[in-house]
Structure 1
Amino acid sequence: MLLAAVAPGTDKTQALHDAVSAARHAEELGYHRIWYAEHHDARSFASQAPEILIAVAARSPQHPAHPSRLRSGTAQPLQPLLASPFQLRVMAG
């Protein structure tokens, strides 16, 4: 599970880039799945919207129009923080 942690001396942009790079590296190593954690109100994490990380990590770096073969997901959406139950349903597919 990736937390998109903000390393000392870096920022959230770098943390997001590192999280996507880690997913691509995991795929190169032969992993089939990766999970992103969702954290709110924490300066040390940049993963308030794991569905965005999933969408970016799903693109193949060599062929952006073709999806990655790596399956990704989020551990648990926090329903009280979502705007509506409909939004939760859309995220769940």
Structure 2
Amino acid sequence: MTAQPLRPEDLAADLTELVAEEHRLQQRASRSVDDEQRLRQVRLEQDRLWELRRRLRARRAHGEADAAVPDRSARVVEHHLR
């Protein structure tokens, strides 16, 4: 079985879940060290998925295949956002 190409629409559900988790963590009256660490991870993953979604849309707009977009790690995306 071959992997299905990534599509911007496929990332929307993951982003929605991450935003909901981010809001839950932010609304806690007092956050533990683990909560703060998870919040950072959630934000990095959001950045990674948004960046991937932008690249997928750009390639699609230029007639390129969705499957040709390599995924980048959260660390790479974090470095590029700085």
| TM-score (structure 2 length as normaliser) | 0.29
Higher strand share: 1
Larger radius of gyration: 2
Higher helix share: 2
Q: Taking CA–CA contacts closer than 8 Å with sequence separation of 6 or more, which of the two structures ends up with the larger relative contact order? A: 2
| TM-score (structure 1 length as normaliser) | 0.27
